């Protein structure tokens, strides 16, 4: 397995498949998952000749279960360390949910030449939390519920989330996949409870407004209109308004985890954007 050690001694696990001279595509997973959540996309882009890379965020998956650093600045620093260690240039960074926040902060701070494009899928920017400046956001009680679930019975909570809103399996007529639920639980339970608990603040309270304004490269913003985790109206359309070179792609009726439930729809669209 591949690992990178960051400046504070954290060991990050990563996968790195494909030709070293191929354009790198770097995948950033959502909360509380791991690089394994991108298996479908990694195989898809690998088959199209790309070099595909995905890491486990600190405290998640197979990376070090650190006592601190569970904030977007440190997550971004970790990606900077990964990109430097692998000498990634002209890379496309694709982030889902919390990973979309990580991509946003990283791309805004990346060295020139490191990033060619970015893709945000069901991503948390600009800001999830309801504030006076963001009246359409979600109230703090929602995120307190996430923290209570992690601190109370994390194992059951990690069954309930994918069984319901994450994949839209709570909608009438939904085709429920027990395998997806079990894999979500497996990935979540690999990580550290403290990292998952503190990451709730990172994904819900971080304001990415200025990051989005600073990004120069083309960005595809893809979001399902039936996203029950990161509601569409307070995320994707607002994100595109802040970007200098953003494209909004809306998916009618698709859920937060649409990359997993409908990869046959999402993957070709992302490939077209990468090639454009």
- pLDDT tens profile 119-178: 999 999 999 999 999 999 999 999 999 999 999 999 999 999 999 999 999 999 999 999
Active site residue 256: yes
Pairing of strands 91-96, 24-28: parallel
Mean pLDDT over all residues of the chain? 98
Is the pLDDT assigned to residue 47 strictly greater than 90? yes
pLDDT at residue 219 in the model: 98
- pLDDT-based confidence at 246, cuts 50/70/90? very high
What is the rounded average pLDDT of the residues 66-73?
97
pLDDT at residue 203 in the model: 98
- The tokens for 228 are 């029950």
Is the pLDDT assigned to residue 1 strictly greater than 80? no
List the CATH number of the domain containing 16.
3.40.50.1820
Q: Looking at 55, 93, 223, 256, which residue is catalytic?
A: 256
What is the rounded average pLDDT of the residues 43-47?
98
Domain that holds residue 190: 2-275
Q: Is the Cβ–Cβ distance between 253 and 226 less than 8 Å?
A: yes
pLDDT at residue 233 in the model: 97
pTM of the model: 0.97
pLDDT at residue 37 in the model: 98
Bridge partner list, 12: 4
Q: What are the tens digits of pLDDT across the range 8-18?
A: 999 999 999 99
Percent of the chain past pLDDT 70, that is, above it, reads: 100
pLDDT at residue 120 in the model: 99
Contacts of 272 (CB under 8 A, 6+ apart): none
User: Which H helix or E strand runs over 265?
Assistant: helix 263-275
The interaxial angle of helices 98-109 and 72-85, nearest 10 deg, is: 60
> How many domains are there within the chain?
1
Q: Is the Cβ–Cβ distance between 39 and 267 less than 8 Å?
A: no
Q: Looking at 76, 227, 234, 235, which residue is catalytic?
A: 227
**Whole-angstrom distance, CA of residue 256 vs CA of residue 137:** 16
- pLDDT-based confidence at 179, cuts 50/70/90? very high
Q: What are the tens digits of pLDDT across the range 137-151?
A: 999 999 999 999 999
* DSSP single-letter state for residue 59: T
Q: Looking at 34, 97, 204, 235, which residue is catalytic?
A: 97
What is the rounded average pLDDT of the residues 237-256?
98
User: Which H helix or E strand runs over 147?
Assistant: helix 140-163
Pairing of strands 11-17, 51-55: antiparallel
pLDDT at residue 2 in the model: 95
Q: Is the Cβ–Cβ distance between 164 and 151 less than 8 Å?
A: no
What is the rounded average pLDDT of the residues 213-227?
98
Is the pLDDT assigned to residue 51 strictly greater than 90? yes
């Amino acid at each position: 397995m591949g690992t990178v050690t960051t400046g504070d001694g954290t060991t990050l696990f990563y996968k790195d498949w494909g030709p070293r001279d191929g354009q790198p595509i770097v995948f950033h997973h959502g909360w509380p998952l791991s690089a394994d959540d991108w298996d479908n996309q990694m195989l898809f882009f690998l088959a199209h000749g790309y070099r595909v890379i995905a890491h486990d965020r600190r405290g998640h998956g197979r990376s070090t279960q650190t006592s601190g650093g569970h904030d977007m600045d440190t997550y971004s620093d970790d990606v900077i360390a990964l990109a430097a260690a692998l000498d990634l240039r002209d890379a496309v960074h694709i982030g889902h949910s919390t990973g979309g926040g990580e991509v946003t902060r990283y791309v805004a701070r990346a060295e020139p030449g490191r990033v060619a494009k970015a893709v945000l899928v069901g991503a948390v920017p600009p800001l999830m939390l309801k504030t006076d400046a963001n009246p359409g956001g979600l109230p703090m009680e929602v995120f307190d519920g996430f923290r209570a679930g992690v601190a109370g019975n994390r194992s059951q909570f990690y069954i309930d989330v994918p069984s319901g809103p994450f994949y839209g399996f709570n909608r009438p007529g939904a085709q429920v996949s027990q395998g997806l639920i079990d894999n979500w639980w497996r990935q979540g339970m690999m990580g550290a409870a403290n990292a998952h608990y503190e990451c709730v603040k990172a994904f819900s309270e971080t304001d990415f407004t200025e990051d989005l304004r600073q990004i120069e490269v083309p960005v595809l913003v893809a979001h399902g209109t039936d996203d029950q985790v990161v509601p569409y109206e307070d995320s994707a359309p607002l994100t595109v308004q802040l970007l200098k070179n953003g494209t909004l792609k809306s998916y009618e009726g698709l859920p937060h985890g649409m990359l997993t439930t409908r990869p046959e729809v999402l993957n070709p669209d992302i490939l077209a954007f990468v090639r454009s």
